[in-house]
Structure 1
């Protein structure tokens, strides 16, 4: 996960640096792009589509990792079940809204 984040940050930094350097070059020293400009046999459109797919996958995996954290507990409305009894222990399902408390006898928010 850290490698994906580092790659995205590096890409953004390189893009910003490239755009800043483009403004510093004089027009007579700039190279004219070739009509069939391709990198590794891929056109610009194909590279853009591949990058879009990669970033979409990174966003999905990031959202899933946030949902799986144990410290994030969803909120319960009044009257909803907020806990579950496991023998002598009580496990929390969700956190009651402000002003309500999880009743340990009924296991609901009141």
Structure 2
């Protein structure tokens, strides 16, 4: 019980001292005030807008490329390409034909 009372008295004492000493602080230790005109913020916003415009122009091309339809291959044409253990599709075979994974041609 005495420990609790000592903690309460100590916290009240420290609170009062903090309140009293707050007015005694020197202006040297305070942070400088912000300028009236946020010039750095405007420059940053313009630079960010330029980056976003460049990114939009690059993203538009890649989206158009991905949204395109795979071209059709005739019978006997090359329909795929082997990249090591993987096979990449070059075109889609016509209806009724399939891409042979050994010869990589439509049959």
Shared fold, TM over 0.5? no
Q: TM-score, normalised by structure 1?
A: 0.38
Q: TM-score, normalised by structure 2?
A: 0.39
Identify, as 1 or 2, the structure richer in helix.
Answer: 2
For the pair shown, the structure with the greater C-alpha radius of gyration is: 2
